[in-house]
Structures are given as C-alpha cells and as structure tokens.
Amino acid sequence: MKNTHLWRALGRNTLISIILFGALLGILWLVETYLLPCGEAGRGLLLKWNDPAWVVGIPASIIGVAYILTIKDPKNYTGFYAGIIMSILLGIQFLLQGQFDSTFLYFFVFIPFQMMSIYKWSRNKEDGGASFEPKFLDTPRLILSIALLVVITAGDYVLATYAFRHEALTDNIAIKLLNGLLISSSFLANYWLIYRKTDSWIYWFLYSVAGIGLFIIVGNVFSIVLFTFFLVINSMAGFAWIKATKPENLYWAKIFCKQ
C-alpha cells in the first residue's frame, strides 16, 4: 500500500489518543465519584453521559487529537481523513446544542477545507515538494489574516446577538466574544493548514485559550479540562512546525524565531 508508514502513524496516533482519553475519563470518573458531593449533587458535574451532545463530543475529541498528532508531521496528510470524521461528529454535536453557526462551519467549510488539504498535501509536486515546506505568512497575508480574525469574530458576535440569543449587544459580551474567537480562529487555522502555513498553529493556540476562557465563564468543568488538553497538544504540534520551518521561510516571524 502506498505511503503505508503514513497510515501506520495515523493508526498509532489514534491509539495514543484513545489511551490518553481513557486515562482522562478514568481520572474524571474517580474525581466525580470520590471527591465531589455524593449522590445526585455530584453526579453529572464532570461526566454528562445523559447528554447526547456530550456523548458525541467524546469520539470527536479522540479523533480530533489523533488528527492533530498526525499533522504534527508536516509530511503526513492522512490526518485530514481523521479531521473529516472529527468535523462530521462536531457538526452533529453543535447541531444538538443548537449552535447553528458552528454546525454550518463544520459541515460546509471545514470539511471542504480538509478535503482540499488532502489534495494539496498528497499530490505529486513538480518542484520536489519545496513549495509545500512549512512557512510563515508574509506580512501582507499576516495583516489580512488578522483583519479576517477581527471581522469574523465581530460578525459572529452580531449574529449570535440578534439571530440566536435575541438580546442586546451589551449582554453576555465575554461569552459572545470568546465564542466568536473560537469560530474565527478555527476557521483561519483550518484554512492556513491547506497551504502548510506555520501560522495555523497560532490560531489553534488562540482556539484553545478561547475555549478555556469560555468554559470557565459558563462553568463547564469537563470542557475546561478538555481544552486545556487541546492547548498542550496544539502547542506541541506548533513547536514541531516552527522547528521544521527553515530560516528562509520564517518571513514575519524571523524577529522572534532564531534557528
């Protein structure tokens, strides 16, 4: 089978993710069972097995970590197949939660992005693959990317205010801003991954931090732990890509990265 070693890496990373999440769920079960209030008062504070959206989110998270661990290697496009499955599951999860903006993005934006990534990363390159080495954005694209981050965040804020929450612009500012940042950062992270831009991991970092902040506010302990886990995994992958980026491909980041 062609590129068997790449598929083996995906399988190995999936197994690692299953083990990590098994350990995480085991720890949370122990905490919920023995450290939190007994009986109904403590049950479901961390593990919400009666919530269909939460249950769907578990395999989505497991596959998502396998996806990140796999594309940590800039040469391994097989992770995007896991990314497509993750996006389908997350789209279902957000649909169950009534977050229709996120549902639309995962089904109609992120899945096509990941399909494009498979095509771009796996095709034969006439230049021997030099154009597909990890690179930072040049300054004009960096400015455009930051502008898009602001515009998408603001657009989602307005959409959430008037279309979904039916409230004033000044209500729940932090929640709507963080939710908008989640969407905008994940959009840019997925987009720049298509072109193997190291900047994509900056947006994955923002995504993780925004998720931690959002779930601290809404009091979802499990999601705080989950996004902290994502923060560690995304940071590891980001450092790996920075290390793999050649000095001539640093562009705007050359003032921060000394190799």
Residue keyed to tokens 């154009």: 131
CB contact set of 231 (below 8 Å; sequence gap of 6+): 205, 208, 209, 212
CB contact set of 3 (below 8 Å; sequence gap of 6+): 78
* Cβ–Cβ < 8 Å for 137, 199: yes
Confidence of residue 127 (pLDDT cuts 50, 70, 90): very low
Q: Between 200 and 130, whose confidence is greater?
A: 200
Q: What integer pLDDT is reported at residue 78 of this predicted model?
A: 93
C-alpha to C-alpha distance for 206 and 189, rounded to whole angstroms:
9
* Cβ–Cβ < 8 Å for 10, 82: yes
C-alpha to C-alpha distance for 143 and 253, rounded to whole angstroms:
13
Confidence of residue 2 (pLDDT cuts 50, 70, 90): low
Handedness of CA 104, 89, 199, 218 (dihedral sign): positive
Beta carbons within 10 angstroms of residue 47's beta carbon: 19
Of the ranges 123-137, 147-161, 211-225, which is most confident? Answer: 147-161
Angle between helices 221-244 and 4-34 (to 10 degrees): 150
Alpha carbon 101 to its chain's center = 16
Q: What is the mean pLDDT of residues 114-129?
A: 74
* The pLDDT of residue 19 is above 90: yes
C-alpha to C-alpha distance for 121 and 128, rounded to whole angstroms:
12
Beta carbons within 10 angstroms of residue 215's beta carbon: 19
Q: What integer pLDDT is reported at residue 59 of this predicted model?
A: 95
The pLDDT tens digits for 29-41 are 888 888 766 555 4
* The pLDDT of residue 259 is above 60: no
What pTM value is reported for the model? 0.88
Going from N- to C-terminal start, the domains of the chain cover 1-129, 133-259
Q: What are phi and psi of 184, to 5 degrees?
A: -65, -40
The pLDDT tens digits for 153-204 are 999 999 888 887 778 888 889 999 999 999 999 999 999 999 999 999 999 9
Q: Between 52 and 124, whose confidence is greater?
A: 52
* Cβ–Cβ < 8 Å for 221, 46: yes
The pLDDT mean for the chain works out to: 88
Q: Where do the H-state alpha helices sit in the chain?
A: 4-34, 52-71, 79-96, 100-105, 111-122, 139-159, 173-194, 200-218, 221-244
103-107, 120-124, 182-186, 209-213: range with lowest mean pLDDT: 120-124
